[in-house]
Chains A and B, each alone.
Chain A
């Protein structure tokens, strides 16, 4: 079971590019029709230098370009089949657009036992910086581990 010793653990930084083709595939998948996401001119008219990414896409970029997208689970010896996504948050400082290259640095910030140890909540915060070093966003995810048995 994951315990407090995991707090502060960091993982291999992930660098990902916002590529137009795979971003378009994401928009097709979710049926996104908003011109700001589909038409570079509409994006520029809205004040962006290029097509922006939608609100949840930073989470995807981090997974897409990770050598091992489930590194933090394997590093903490957590079985993927016992994990549920509990919460997800984003704080945006600067918009990310097509052409940006972003680096994601994740660290464990909290480990909390729930329901007499039958569940463990793990909080992971990821800081996102752009190629020019600007800190553009922070992600916070909470994963729920369903432990084998209650204690």
Chain B
């Protein structure tokens, strides 16, 4: 069942999910599944030529995980906006944890909403994506 999104208070942790390590296979599948065929994420020769030691995850794959963690916690119907900044490259093998805390209770176009501050970080605690969602409450 969806978690109830009413009666949330600022500071509540509403989103928390961990994901399996990112493999080359994940990136190959995501390349096809997302339509993002940028060779940077699947072709090590291309990545090296561009000055990177290896391929790395699509930022949008990490955002998809963050979105999944969010829709596990709130009804997708209630999400009004979702944005992220790609703070650091996500390397192969990264095991991501996605978290979100209520940062503010607001009104948006007359509708009561909450802002959720979101982060996707690796095992070492490095933030890969920093984001925000606006969710009706």
User: What is the CA–CA distance of A22 and B30 in the complex, to the nearest angstrom?
Assistant: 11
Q: Is A133 an interface residue (CB 8 A)?
A: no
Q: Which of A80-88, A105-113, A122-130 contacts B (4 or more CB under 8 A)?
A: A80-88
| A90 at interface, CB cutoff 8 A | yes
| Majority DSSP secondary structure for residues of B touching A | helix
* Pairwise interchain contact B76-A87, C-beta atoms closer than 8 A: no
How many chain A residues have a CB neighbour from B under 8 Å? Answer: 42
B35–A61 touching, CB < 8 Å:
yes
Secondary structure dominating the interface of A: mixed
Alpha-carbon distance A28/B29, docked complex (angstroms): 9
A37-B75 Cα distance, complex, nearest whole Å: 11
A72 within 8 A of B: no
In the complex, whether A75 has a CB less than 8 A from a CB of chain B is no
Query: Which listed residue, B35, B68, B77, touches A54 by the CB 8 Å rule?
Result: B68
- Bound CA span A85–B38, Å: 11
In the bound complex, residues from chain A placing their C-beta under 8 Å from that of B75 are 46
Given contacts A46-B75, A85-B59, A87-B84, 17 further A-B contacts (CB under 8 A): A26-B33, A28-B33, A29-B30, A46-B76, A54-B71, A55-B71, A63-B35, A63-B37, A69-B37, A80-B38, A82-B50, A84-B59, A84-B86, A87-B83, A87-B86, A89-B84, A95-B77
| Chain A interfacial positions (CB closer than 8 Å to B) | 22, 25-26, 28-32, 34, 36-37, 46-48, 52, 54-56, 59-66, 69-70, 80-82, 84-92, 95, 140
Q: What are 8 inter-chain pairs, A to B, with CB distance below 8 A?
A: A25-B32, A29-B32, A36-B2, A37-B71, A56-B67, A80-B38, A89-B82, A92-B79
